[in-house]
Amino acid sequence: MHALALLSAGIAFVGAIMVITRRVAVHAVLYLVVTLLAVAMVLALLGAAFAAMLEIIIYAGAIMVLFVFVVMMLNSGQPDAAREGEWLRPRAWAGPGVLAGLLCGELLYAATPFSGHAWPLAPLTARDVGLGLFGHYVLMVELASFLLLAGLISALHIGRNRVEDR
């Protein structure tokens, strides 16, 4: 299992480097999704089921949707057709696709009973998630919600100012 966790950590490292080096924000967001999924895989393989599920639901899900809306709102001044043509090039999707394929293969290998590894996660119920979110971690959940709200308000303010400047 530790070799699989190291492979996931390597994928997360490569994805993080690619996030930093991409010039197009949408491509960086794609690599960030892969990086967050790889971190969730590391957490799952090391036995932290709750943290892995929160990583997928909150970060790879909700925050990525927020990032995509911010990228869409903050138009870079290019016409829509040219901008979308730049975003949808197959070369831009190949890197995140390969990394995500490696993660899927690793997940399938770790989850099969024939791999010789015992999957470390027990089933996580809705009751466990509710007790975790609104029990010991309620203050952190509320602070994260304020942070997301501040990010959304900032994005709306920046987007409105850019539209008024045109």
pLDDT digits (tens, 9 = 90+) for 76-126: 566 666 666 666 677 777 888 888 888 888 888 877 766 566 565 566 777
Residue 145 covered by a domain: no
pTM of structure: 0.67
Q: What is the CATH number of the domain that holds 40?
A: 1.20.120.1200
Tokens 């975790």, residue located: 132
Nearest of 58, 66, 18, 21 to residue 37 by alpha carbon: 58
Average pLDDT across the chain, whole number: 77
Residue 133 covered by a domain: no
Residue 27 covered by a domain: yes
pLDDT digits (tens, 9 = 90+) for 131-145: 877 787 778 778 877
Residue 22 covered by a domain: yes
In sequence order, the 6+-apart residues with CB closer than 8 A to the CB of 134 are 141
Domain that holds residue 61: 2-123
Residue 37 covered by a domain: yes
Tell which wins on pLDDT, 110 or 42.
42
What confidence category does residue 62 fall into, taking pLDDT thresholds of 50, 70 and 90? confident
The domain total for the chain is 1
Per-residue pLDDT, 113 = 66
